[in-house]
Chains A and B, each alone.
Chain A
Amino acid sequence: MSDRITPDDVVKVARLARLSLGDDELAVATSELRAMLEHFADIDALDLDDVEPMTHPVPIDNVMRNDVPAPTLDRDEVLAAAPDAADGRFQVPPIIGLED
């Protein structure tokens, strides 16, 4: 993980994260991420071949509840908290047909 992160990498990451960066922001973000990743290189030297990854502090399996009806959130209250709603649904701008 010694490869240095480039502005092109940062542009790609921003696209994946649905964020837009101006030219100045891109330069700052690249140097900040580079500095962090250099610091984080301290774990490169560790021999971790036989170590199992730990995703969660306690061993946990899927937790299921009994399949019985129970009250849910009030639909109108949920939709009232959204930026836009119509006909009992969330409303968004067009998804297709407006590429570029």
Chain B
Amino acid sequence: MSDIAPPTLDLRAATIAVRVRAGELSAAQVVDDYLAAIDAHETDVHAFNLVLTDEARARAAAVDDAVAAGDDVGPLAGVPVALKDNMCTRGVPTTCSSKILEGWRPPYDATIVDRLRDAGAVVIGKTNLDEFAMGSSTENSAFGRTNNPLDVTRVPGGSSGGSAASVAAGFAPLALGSDTGGSIRQPAALCGVVGVKPTYGAVSRLGLVAFASSLDQIGPFAHDVADAALVLEAISGHDPGDSTSIDQGPLELTTVLEHGVDGMRIGRITDLPEGADPDVVERVDQAFAALADAGATIIDVSVPAFGYGLTAYYLIAPAEASSNLARYDGVRFGMRAEAPDTNAMYIATRTEGFGAEVKRRIMLGTYALSAGYYDAYYGRALKVRRRIAQDFAAAYAQVDALVMPASPSVAFRAGDKTADPMSMYLCDTYTIPANLTGEPAMSVPFGTGADGLPVGVQIITPALHDARMFQVAAELERRAPAS
């Protein structure tokens, strides 16, 4: 092992792993450098609910020992990874940024935690989120909001705002988030990092605290497309512990990044819902031009039902959430409010333990599923979902991939949208359809917009075509404007 202490914070995850495996760089040094960065700036950003200082150091030392012993420690050797705090870590608090899970320590690790460990990665902390992943700004946290590292008066997006901020702030080269309606892609766009929601079922959700089970998917944040590909290869692939996991091997992504887009047909949706700011629209137009320069053909397509996604989502996701969150009743997990009988205890615990947005969505979902309203709301939303999937399928008959904004705006100021729930929900307009259809979607930084803040361009491809999406993403990354 080298006794030189290189500045590791500018290194990509891929480079860290190569150097640690070769014995040129110690995992202990890498972790210490990142812990020092967290120590210096975390009070300004508040990306973490919990920093795992001792655990990360112990794990890094074990990686270094394995390298010294000549073992193959894996493709993420010594790479620190921040985990959204809705992913179960055995014996380590997992809060979902909710008071109701206060004191709960899961009795098992999520599958992605096992896979990260097998790949040699080092979990460095648990990141803040909108409570139970419900929100688009990381302001709905029982532990206070996360700030955008690029401008701390602005939000990092959400719900995986802590994970996006941790990568943007240089607290970890990689982070994992979950994406139910855009909760990886929108914060990635607002923080200027790469964020990926892979095909539904590509990454196991065993140990991901459930929000809306037909929509939830785990994916990475990274500084570049290659690092996102590297970690996604490590965590994807079938898991018998998740019955919705696709029965296939890990995604193969890192090999396609140089393939380019020559001859590819890229779709521009002509009837995309309005609402994107002009600075965002301008960058997306430049992205189409860049892809055309790279040899792609830009084709106008229609996805008429796209704009109904918001309504379908905000009926389906709360309906599923109202069912999934019924388990928090003061019996098996976290906190309990004392009351004389069990039913009163359920009500007191849930009323005290859940925050306002979670209650709002549980109520909305309960209403949409209740007798007399089920067909009108939940039932119709499921039909709209089918219609959207049919429209996407028709578009894919003409094109290989779709490109559009990830977020309608650059990072907005904290407090701007908290008074009006509908205004916050509209942040998800462009990201929601890929959750309803299960298709892979990602956001790649592509220049800046208002106030010099980053703009994210979203790429969507048909289900199971994650590799093609990465091909387009890598090309956009190569051609991204300097500022």
Q: Is the CB of A10 within 8 A of B363?
A: yes
CB neighbours (8 Å) of B115 from chain A are none
Residue B377 at the A interface, CB < 8 A? yes
Q: Is the CB of A54 within 8 A of B386?
A: yes
Q: Is the CB of B342 within 8 A of A16?
A: no
Q: Is the CB of B380 within 8 A of A17?
A: no
Residue with the greatest number of chain B CB neighbours at <10 A, chosen from A33, A78, A93: A93
Q: Is the CB of B311 within 8 A of A43?
A: yes
Residue B141 at the A interface, CB < 8 A? no
> B307-318: contact bitstring with A at CB < 8 Å (1 yes, 0 no)?
110011011000
Residue with the greatest number of chain A CB neighbours at <10 A, chosen from B314, B341, B385: B341
Residue B359 at the A interface, CB < 8 A? yes
> B184-204: contact bitstring with A at CB < 8 Å (1 yes, 0 no)?
000000000000000011000
CA of A83 to CA of B389, assembled, Å: 43
CA of A14 to CA of B244, assembled, Å: 31
Interface of B is mostly: helix
Q: Is the CB of B367 within 8 A of A33?
A: yes
Query: What is the distance, in angstroms, from A92's C-beta to the closest C-beta of chain B?
Result: 5
Residue B366 at the A interface, CB < 8 A? yes
The answer to whether residues A94 and B342 also contact, given A17-B322, A43-B380 and a CB cut-off of 8 A, is yes
CB neighbours (8 Å) of A94 from chain B are 340-342
CB neighbours (8 Å) of A92 from chain B are 330-331, 342, 345
Q: Is the CB of A53 within 8 A of B438?
A: no
Residue B43 at the A interface, CB < 8 A? no
Residue B478 at the A interface, CB < 8 A? no
CB neighbours (8 Å) of A95 from chain B are 341-343
> A48-76: contact bitstring with B at CB < 8 Å (1 yes, 0 no)?
10011111111010010100000001100
Interface of A is mostly: loop
CB neighbours (8 Å) of A74 from chain B are 107
Query: What is the distance, in angstroms, from B271's C-beta to the closest C-beta of chain A?
Result: 14
Q: Is the CB of A42 within 8 A of B308?
A: yes
Q: Is the CB of A29 within 8 A of B363?
A: yes
CB neighbours (8 Å) of B331 from chain A are 82-83, 90, 92
Q: Is the CB of B350 within 8 A of A18?
A: yes
Residue B482 at the A interface, CB < 8 A? no
Query: What is the distance, in angstroms, from A3's C-beta to the closest C-beta of chain B?
Result: 9
Of residues 320 through 360 on chain B, the ones whose CB sits less than 8 Å from some CB of chain A are 322, 326, 329-336, 338-348, 350-351, 354, 359-360
CB neighbours (8 Å) of A77 from chain B are 107
Q: Is the CB of B341 within 8 A of A16?
A: no
Residue B421 at the A interface, CB < 8 A? yes
Q: Is the CB of A19 within 8 A of B363?
A: yes
Q: Which of B105, B364, B387, B438 contacts A48 (CB 8 A)?
A: B387
Residue of A nearest to B384 (CB): A43
Q: Which of B107, B322, B326, B345 contacts A78 (CB 8 A)?
A: B107
Residue with the greatest number of chain B CB neighbours at <10 A, chosen from A29, A52, A53, A63: A53
CB neighbours (8 Å) of B332 from chain A are 78, 81-82, 90
CB neighbours (8 Å) of B364 from chain A are 33, 36
Residue B370 at the A interface, CB < 8 A? yes
Q: Which of B215, B315, B334, B344 contacts A83 (CB 8 A)?
A: B334
Q: Is the CB of A40 within 8 A of B363?
A: no
Q: Is the CB of A57 within 8 A of B463?
A: yes
Residue of B nearest to A30 (CB): B363
Residue of A nearest to B325 (CB): A17
CB neighbours (8 Å) of B339 from chain A are 93
Residue B382 at the A interface, CB < 8 A? yes
Q: Is the CB of B376 within 8 A of A1?
A: yes
CB neighbours (8 Å) of B383 from chain A are 46, 48, 51-54
CB neighbours (8 Å) of B387 from chain A are 46, 48, 51
Q: Is the CB of A81 within 8 A of B333?
A: yes
CA of A55 to CA of B200, assembled, Å: 13
CA of A17 to CA of B382, assembled, Å: 22
Q: Is the CB of B367 within 8 A of A43?
A: no
Q: Is the CB of B342 within 8 A of A20?
A: no
Residue B246 at the A interface, CB < 8 A? yes
Query: What is the distance, in angstroms, from A60's C-beta to the closest C-beta of chain B?
Result: 7
> A1-28: contact bitstring with B at CB < 8 Å (1 yes, 0 no)?
1000100011011101111100000000
Q: Is the CB of A84 within 8 A of B346?
A: no
CB neighbours (8 Å) of B136 from chain A are none
Q: Is the CB of B329 within 8 A of A39?
A: no
CA of A18 to CA of B344, assembled, Å: 9
Query: What is the distance, in angstroms, from A77's C-beta to the closest C-beta of chain B?
Result: 4
Subset of 10 A-B contacts with CB under 8 Å: A17-B359, A20-B347, A20-B348, A32-B421, A39-B311, A46-B308, A51-B383, A51-B386, A80-B107, A94-B342
Name the 7 nearest CB pairs between A and B, nearest first: A57-B438, A53-B382, A83-B336, A54-B386, A63-B243, A77-B107, A48-B383
18 new A-B contacts, CB < 8 A, other than A63-B243, A73-B108, are A9-B367, A13-B370, A33-B360, A36-B314, A36-B364, A40-B311, A40-B314, A42-B307, A43-B381, A46-B308, A46-B384, A51-B383, A53-B379, A53-B385, A57-B436, A73-B107, A83-B330, A95-B341
